[in-house]
């Protein structure tokens, strides 16, 4: 349940209880066996209390962009793209400046989000799943050969724990957590799903690399006409409009601005497997600006249905932007690395009347949102690695020191990192060769000055933190 002091802006006051004014339960009076009318009245009161309790819980909308760079929005410094809707969402909410994706690629971060734990606790999900369920490093390759590459439903805490609290849960857009039927979102407990199972699709014919059909509604393949971003928004808005009588969790999982690079006016643009990743700056900006319009349409639907003040809206990206396409601001590196540009991404948290507008320098990661959403819904949060950062900004608490870890694998290459306070260690291993760098992010957010030689004690300390974490996550896998 959300705290009592937050109930009135989002719903009616809670039901009366047998408690004194301090909340201390009163002794139950002794009484004779109740009559049937009394039992019936009691049952009605219990049902009414349960319904009222459900109504008090906020709706939650999580909008996740794909491959959005740290500087790809106007409010994060993009020099060209106009993103007024997202800029307003940030201006009227909290804009985080030190938020991280849990992984440098798609599938790892999405795993952390659904499990609420480091994705390394799962199997084979430290790298984006390849087209058609291809494993890209040892463990993932072995799982793919057994047709077991994906996130097992039993390991996901979202949406199952939200559904147990009375939430209607829908996911629209990119899934990328397994192609096999056992990994379909419906098997994870989502009530509704429309989108594609793989990592990216042609924005107009909705096929992966031109020939693989991966578009589904629920468990069944479907065909639809339209631009992928617009279809995701249409179904999300329909889900919202049907959500007045029950709290909902809406996961808007956009493809944009992931390749193939096609703006909404590019229906006639020829895109094949050979030029799938080719693009230009003008098209990229057109995609960003359309993503902003889709967000504006979704927010308008919340306003039109009268649900806006009862709804927490969160916007983020699943990893850093693609090198050569995205705008990273002052950050070094890009997607697939653990430089800041590969993992630091935008995060906007907005809830009118509840979250006070401002900027947060709190260091946080995707799986913190998992704990936050479950906490708001009154669901259990045991066995999670993240922290409740939404609750933190709701309470107006100052930033706290965090220690966060990353590891991403592809082939025989491994990128790792640990951040503790403002100190960050980056490691890159390929075969038998390895390199590492030490930075003070407070003074050097661009990671230009390696401090390994001048701060050897910090370098050893951070390397040991990373070693211990790797041993822990490799030993304690999700079951």
Q: Any idea where the domains of the chain sit in the sequence?
A: 59-402, 404-475
> Tell me, what's the pLDDT at 361?
98
pTM: 0.89
Domain 59-402 and domain 404-475, same fold? Reply is no
> Tell me, what's the pLDDT at 12?
33
DSSP 114: H
By three-state DSSP, how is residue 272 classified? Answer: coil
> Tell me, what's the pLDDT at 422?
98
**CATH number for the segment(s) 59-402:** 3.40.720.10
Tell me: cis bond preceding 257? Omega within 30 of 0 counts: yes
> Tell me, what's the pLDDT at 209?
85
CATH architecture under which domain 404-475 falls: 2-Layer Sandwich (3.30)
> Tell me, what's the pLDDT at 421?
98
> Tell me, what's the pLDDT at 29?
36
Half-sphere exposure of 434 (CA within 13 A, CB side): 9
Name the stretches of the chain with pLDDT < 70.
1-55, 210, 479
**Range 398-405, long-range pairs (CB < 8 A, 24+ positions):** 399/360, 399/361, 399/362, 399/363, 400/362, 401/363, 402/362, 402/363, 402/364, 403/465, 404/100, 404/363, 404/365, 405/118, 405/465, 405/466, 405/469, 405/470, 405/473
Which H or E run contains 112? helix 106-115
């Amino acid at each position: 349940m959300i705290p009592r002091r937050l109930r009135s802006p989002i719903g009616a006051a809670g039901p009366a209880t047998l408690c004194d004014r301090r909340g201390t339960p009163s002794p139950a009076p002794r009484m004779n066996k109740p009559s049937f009318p009394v039992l019936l009245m009691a049952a009605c009161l219990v049902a009414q209390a349960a319904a009222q309790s459900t109504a008090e819980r906020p709706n939650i909308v999580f909008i996740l962009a794909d491959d959005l760079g740290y500087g790809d929005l106007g409010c994060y410094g993009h020099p060209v793209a106009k993103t007024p809707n997202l800029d307003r969402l940030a201006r009227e909410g909290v804009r985080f400046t030190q938020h991280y994706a849990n992984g440098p690629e798609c599938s790892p971060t999405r795993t952390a989000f659904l499990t609420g734990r480091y994705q390394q606790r799962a199997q084979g999900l430290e790298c984006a799943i390849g087209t058609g369920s291809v494993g890209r490093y040892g463990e993932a390759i072995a799982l793919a050969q057994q047709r077991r590459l994906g996130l097992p439903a039993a390991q996901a805490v979202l949406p199952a724990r939200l559904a147990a609290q009375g939430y209607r849960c829908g996911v629209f857009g990119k899934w990328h957590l397994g192609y096999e039927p056992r990994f379909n979102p419906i098997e994870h407990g989502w009530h509704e799903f429309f989108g594609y199972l793989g990592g990216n699709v042609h924005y107009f014919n909705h096929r992966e690399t031109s020939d693989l059909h991966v578009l589904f509604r629920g468990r069944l393949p479907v065909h639809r006409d339209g631009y992928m971003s617009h279809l995701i928004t249409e179904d999300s808005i329909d889900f919202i409009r049907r959500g007045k009588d029950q709290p909902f969790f809406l996961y808007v999982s956009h493809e944009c601005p992931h390749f193939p690079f096609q703006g909404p006016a590019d229906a006639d643009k020829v895109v094949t497997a050979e030029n799938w990743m080719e693009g230009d700056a003008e098209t990229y900006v057109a995609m960003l600006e359309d993503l902003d319009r889709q967000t504006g349409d979704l927010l308008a639907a919340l306003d039109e249905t009268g649900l806006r003040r009862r709804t927490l809206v969160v916007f983020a990206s699943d990893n850093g932007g693609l090198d050569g396409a995205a705008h990273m601001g002052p950050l070094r590196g890009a997607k697939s690395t653990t430089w800041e540009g590969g993992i630091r991404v935008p995060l906007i948290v907005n809830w009118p009347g509840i979250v006070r507008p401002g900027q947060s320098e709190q260091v946080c990661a995707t799986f913190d949102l998992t704990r936050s959403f479950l906490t708001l819904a009154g669901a259990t949060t045991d066995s999670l690695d993240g922290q409740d950062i939404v609750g933190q900004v709701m309470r107006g608490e100052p930033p706290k020191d965090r220690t966060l870890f990353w590891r991403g694998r592809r082939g025989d290459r491994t990128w790792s990192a640990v951040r503790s306070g403002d100190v960050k260690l980056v490691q890159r291993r390929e075969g038998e060769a390895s390199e590492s760098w030490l930075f003070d992010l407070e003074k050097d957010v661009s990671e230009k000055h390696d401090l390994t030689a001048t701060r050897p004690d910090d370098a050893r300390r951070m390397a040991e933190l990373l070693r211990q974490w790797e041993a822990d996550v490799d030993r304690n896998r999700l079951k």
